[in-house]
């Protein structure tokens, strides 16, 4: 096995990756574990992903391993090259910057529409979601914060008529959720994010689309700086 091949077993000093599968992995569960190992760096960028090694590492079989590789290629995590096999794409600063660049192009457009056209019922429902998000942030409840933060952004997206824009945003947000699950925010960062949500709600309640768009841009920039800082602190030091 070359230095860039996927190890058939996890490193001895990585207890998370050492957890054995209770039963053969297949379908979405295999994709989830493989995805999480790539994002967490347990499978380094550039590593070759051989079907045989996936079978050994995850206690699976040929078809699920191949299906997982094709699914992760569709997500952009894996690059499949004819006659060369599969490799892990780089989860680096450039990758994160691209995610946030896409979000900053689309999210203000979606937020503007919500500020101008959302119904009173939709605005009230968004406020109720944010109340729960604030409770989680105040309590330092990371799992609760992730859930309600996701619900907050997804609810705004779900009300927009442009289904293609909504699809792109959901894809980018899914990447961010995966990254933030591996590099979680600190309690002060959760409270700062929640405060941004309240500012956004206030602008929407005033039907101020320009202000709402600027708030979501500022929110995105702060989120990017915070996430990249957490990623850099967790990287192995040379």
CATH number for the domain including 78? 1.10.10.10
Helix (H) or strand (E) holding 196: helix 187-205
Domain end call among 68, 88, 108: 88
Same domain for 56 and 100, yes or no, is no
Same domain for 113 and 53, yes or no, is no
Structure tokens at 226: 């915070």
Same domain for 163 and 212, yes or no, is yes
Which residue in this structure is represented by tokens 């990017």?
A: 224
Same domain for 169 and 68, yes or no, is no
Domain end call among 58, 88, 118: 88
Q: What is the pTM of this model?
A: 0.75
Non-local (6+) Cβ contacts of 162 within 8 A are 109, 110
Q: Which domain holds residue 188?
A: 93-234
Domain end call among 88, 115, 142: 88
Same domain for 197 and 156, yes or no, is yes
Same domain for 97 and 84, yes or no, is no
pLDDT per residue over 31-48, tens digit each?
Answer: 989 988 887 778 888 899
Nearest 5°: the CA angle 89, 76, 59 is: 75
- Taking only the tens of pLDDT, the chain with its 238 residues reads 444 666 555 544 444 444 444 455 667 899 989 988 887 778 888 899 999 999 999 999 999 999 999 988 887 789 988 877 899 987 788 989 999 999 999 999 999 999 999 999 999 999 999 999 999 999 999 999 999 999 999 999 999 999 999 999 998 888 888 888 889 999 999 999 999 999 999 999 999 999 999 999 999 999 999 999 999 887 766 5
pLDDT per residue over 13-30, tens digit each?
Answer: 444 444 444 455 667 899
Same domain for 58 and 176, yes or no, is no
What are 86's strand-pairing partners? 49, 80
3-state secondary structure of 83: coil
Q: What is the CATH number of the domain that holds 178?
A: 1.20.120.530
CA atoms within 13 A on the CB side of 196: 20
Give the closest residue to 88 by CA, choosing from 118, 52, 43: 43
Question: What's the domain count of the chain?
Answer: 2
Same domain for 24 and 105, yes or no, is no
Same domain for 104 and 84, yes or no, is no
Residue 143 lies in a domain: yes
């Amino acid at each position: 096995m070359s230095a860039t091949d996927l190890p058939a077993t996890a490193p001895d000093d990585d207890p998370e990756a050492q957890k054995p599968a209770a039963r053969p992995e297949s379908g979405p569960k295999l994709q989830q574990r493989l995805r999480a190992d790539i994002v967490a760096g347990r499978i380094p960028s550039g590593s070759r992903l051989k079907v045989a090694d996936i079978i050994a590492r995850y206690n699976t079989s040929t078809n699920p391993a191949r299906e997982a590789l094709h699914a992760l290629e569709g997500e952009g995590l894996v690059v499949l090259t004819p006659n060369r096999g599969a490799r892990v794409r780089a989860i680096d600063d450039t990758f994160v910057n691209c995610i946030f660049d896409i979000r900053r192009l689309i999210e203000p457009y979606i937020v503007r529409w919500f500020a101008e056209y959302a119904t009173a019922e939709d605005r009230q429902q968004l406020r109720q979601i944010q109340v729960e998000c604030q409770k989680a942030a105040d309590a330092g409840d990371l799992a609760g914060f992730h859930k309600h933060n996701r619900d907050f952004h997804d609810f705004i997206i779900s009300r927009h008529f442009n289904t293609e824009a909504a699809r792109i945003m959901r894809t980018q947000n899914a990447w961010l959720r995966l990254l933030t699950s591996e590099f979680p925010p600190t309690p002060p960062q959760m409270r700062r994010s929640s405060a941004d949500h309240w500012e956004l709600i206030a602008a929407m309640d005033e039907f101020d689309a320009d202000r709402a768009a600027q708030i979501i841009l500022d929110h995105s920039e702060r989120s990017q700086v915070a996430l990249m800082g957490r990623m850099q602190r967790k990287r192995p030091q040379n």
